Amino acid sequence: MSDGSVRLAARRAGPDDAQTVARLLHDFNTEFETPTPGVAVLTTRLQSLLAGPGTIAYLAGEPATGVALVTLRSNVWYDGPVALLDELYVAPADRGRGLGSAMIERLVADAEASGVSAIEINVDAVDVDAQRFYERHGFSGVDPDTGERAFFYSLEL
């Protein structure tokens, strides 16, 4: 491509990739000054989670410098599961090269192939770059029926 970006493929991570996924998630939180339990704790959790059906991770780059973490859940409003894109991160030096797009495209393709009914993403209000990125990939921050802005609320326990 003439804009300097490259078309890269993303791959689905398995339990053997847990440490790589953990390192990238830890780097993400560290970059944005968010608490992290550390690579060792995340690795242990991810080894178990990535072996089951409810958590999916994608890696992009060689070596991997991009990660997407997705969890699946059932939902009464849909026939198939709903995927939540919990995290999408690309190391600063590799941003703008197409890694994020590769992971989103792989997520959407895999979701369609496996019967996922919807993909949800939570984005901070001030993160307009992320909002534009997801909108370029077909996601919307408004209710399609009413046009009302969507909001995300949480309560940590």
pLDDT digits (tens, 9 = 90+) for 43-62: 999 999 999 999 999 999 99
d(Cα 98, Cα 133) in Å, to the nearest integer?
11
Q: How many structural domains are present in the chain?
A: 1
Residue 76 lies in a domain: yes
pLDDT at 154: 81
Residue 110 lies in a domain: yes
Residue 90 lies in a domain: yes
d(Cα 26, Cα 36) in Å, to the nearest integer?
6
pLDDT tens for each residue of 123-147: 988 999 999 999 999 999 988 888 8
Radius of gyration of the chain (CA): 16
Beta strand 118-121 pairing with 82-90: parallel
Nearest of 138, 47, 46, 123 to residue 84 by alpha carbon: 123
Give kind and range of the element (H or E) at residue 66.
Answer: strand 66-73
Full residue range of the structural domain in which residue 100 is found: 10-136
Higher pLDDT among residues 156 and 133, named by residue: 133
d(Cα 119, Cα 134) in Å, to the nearest integer?
11
